[in-house]
Structure 1
Amino acid sequence: MKKNIRSVIAIPLLAAVVIVLSSCSGGDSATDTGVKPEPQPTPVIKNPLVDCGEYRIEPPTVLPWKLTRPSDWVVMGSSSAFGAGASAPEKSWVGLIRDYHSALGVTIHNIAKGGYSTYHALSKQCVVSASRPVADMQHNIDKAHEFKPDLVFLSYPSNDAVSKYTATESASNLLLLRWQLMQQGTAVVVLSSQPRNTNTAAQAALLELDKLLKPLVGACFVELHSLLVADTGGLATQFDSGDGVHLNDAGHQIVAQAINQTLNSGRCVEF
């Protein structure tokens, strides 16, 4: 049975998307010393280039999601999720996840497409600046909804950054997609960025994106960047298919293992 979502504060997207994080400080020491902890700054994630009406940011405290089997899963993303760099489809991370979970009654629908950004994934109902890509109805959230998925993976590891979209744009888009899926009772797993042999500004944007998303997505955030990165900040040679961008079989294996660790932890989903 899919899990219902509790509502939190709604904020119009164009005005701002504001997420307040609770600080986790040592309550006993604060009580003992009488010193109050310093107030934590409030992260603001705002994308003025997209208007999808109102949406809410769901804190990770609703986890874990209850999943039943059989169930339908959808993969949304770009070339890595499509399987680029792998020697065969079954060697891609989606192929490995499919093989692992198919015996347990899971059907995976992969609607990822190479070269796509978080903007391509938005609903056709969103009003997006003409300076950004338009949604693709065969590879976006509207298509994902058609499968009535129990779980959706969001994997947009680097195309936004190399297109010079800001980390806050990308984070806002992903959080919007996440919230819209959750409103349908769908569990959402968000994959982190992946290192890429590109300029230092883009590499920094990838790290900033993960920094924004990780505390908000919580246990359903899959950390990949640190597992695949070289000392230079690009993609480590042992995981490089040869172009400095796409993962080889070993890299896809790392991604699949990290995803299964998240799914099997019992903190994001429960079967």
Structure 2
Amino acid sequence: MVLGSSTAAGGGANPRDSGWVFRLQSTINKTEQKARFINLAVEGYTLYKAMPTGYHHDDRPLPDTARNITKALSYLPDMVMINFPSNDIAANYTDEEILNNYAKLTHMLDSAKVAYIIFSTQPRDFQDSSQRTRLKIINDKIDYLYPLHANDYLNALSTPTWSIKPIYEAGDGIHINNSGHEVIVNKTLQQPLLIQLLNR
């Protein structure tokens, strides 16, 4: 299962099925291993849209019950991949609420004994340098809190000021191009929990 926003939905890739989810599934299924991917990602979504059904936080988006963690777990998945790279920061949600939302998701996954990977933040050409810095700060906190589950490729895609490296720009200052999606695929294929799952 994939929960996420535009990058997971193929945003920036041309054609869209060159996005990392599609490429990852294709790469895995070229081997003897066959994997079924269900992608619930939607452009523009933040972590709040993935919160469990019934979750409510004042002045924040309600969960999308067709594309949230509750729906994902209803499929009895082997793994959930969580990919919300920058929209929460664009919305100026605090570090505390972002990390609290990750904690809620991961608690549910741990309780259900479902493997999960948390994908890193992603560079974005924010005009406000403090927002670009927050991409690094949140990413470091995720790496610290979820060392076994993190899938960190922020540095590979970023300039020193956490903008998108020109070679990975899709042209809108938000999304990465096909080459950027390929970086995510290659990093994900090296994630120990995915390797462990595929070798079962």
Q: TM-score, normalised by structure 2?
A: 0.92
For structure 2, the residue ranges without an aligned partner over 5 or more in a row are none
Alignment partner of 2:21 out of 94, 98, 103? 94
Determine the C-alpha separation between the residues in 1 that align with 2:198 and 2:47.
24
* Secondary structure class of the residue paired with 1:108: coil
Q: Which runs of 4+ in 1 moved over 2 A?
A: 263-271
Please point out which of 234, 240, 245 is paired with 2:174.
245
Structure 1's 268 and 209: CA in aligned 2 closer, same or farther, altered over 3 A? farther
Q: Post-superposition shift, 1:98? A: 0.6
Distance across 1 between alignment mates of 2:199 and 2:26: 19
Q: Does 1:137 align with 2:65?
A: yes
CA distance in 1, matches of 2:20, 2:194: 18
Which 5+ residue runs of structure 1 have no aligned equivalent? 1-73
Conserved in 2, the CA contact under 8 Å of 1:122 and 1:140? yes
Give percent identity, aligned residues only: 27
- Aligned-partner SS, 1:100: helix
> What RMSD over aligned residues (CA atoms) do the two structures have, in Å?
1.8
**C-alpha displacement at 1:192, in angstroms?**
0.8
Which residue type is aligned with residue 101 of structure 1?
A: I
Determine the structure 2 residue equivalent to 1:183: 111
Which of 61, 80, 85 lines up with 2:12 in the alignment? 85
Q: Does 1:172 align with 2:131?
A: no
Q: Describe the shift of the 1:172–1:268 C-alpha distance in structure 2 as closer, same or farther (beyond 3 A).
A: farther
Whether 1:127 aligns to 2:91 is no
- Return the offset for 1:267: 6.9
Higher strand share: 1
SS of the aligned residue for 1:154 comes to: strand
Matches within 5 A, 1:204-219: 204-219=133-148
Structure 2 equivalent of residue 108 of structure 1:
37
The 1:270/1:208 distance shift into structure 2, 3 A limit, reads farther
Question: Cα distance, 1:266 vs. partner?
Answer: 5.1
Secondary structure of 1:149's counterpart equals coil
Distance (whole Å) between structure 2 residues aligned to residue 170 and residue 149 of structure 1 = 24
User: In structure 2, what is the Cα distance between the partners aligned to 1:184 and 1:206?
Assistant: 29
**Aligned-pair distance for 1:160?**
0.4
Distance in 2 separating the partners of 1:267 and 1:202:
35
Q: Is 2:190 aligned against 1:261?
A: yes
From the superposition, tell whether residues 173 and 221 of structure 1 become closer, same or farther in structure 2 (CA, over 3 Å).
Answer: same
| 1:213-239 Cα deviation digits (max 9, x unpaired) | 112211220112101001332111110
User: For residue 138 of structure 1, what is the amino acid of its counterpart?
Assistant: A
Any idea what SS the aligned residue of 2:112 has?
coil
- How far is the alpha carbon of 1:193 from its aligned partner? 0.2
* Count of residue correspondences: 197
Partners of 1:190 and 1:196 in 2: CA distance: 18
Aligned to 1:31: none
Aligned pairs (5 A) from 1:144-159: 144-159=72-87
Q: CA deviation at 1:143?
A: 1.4
Q: Partners in 1 of 2:85 and 2:165 — Cα distance?
A: 15
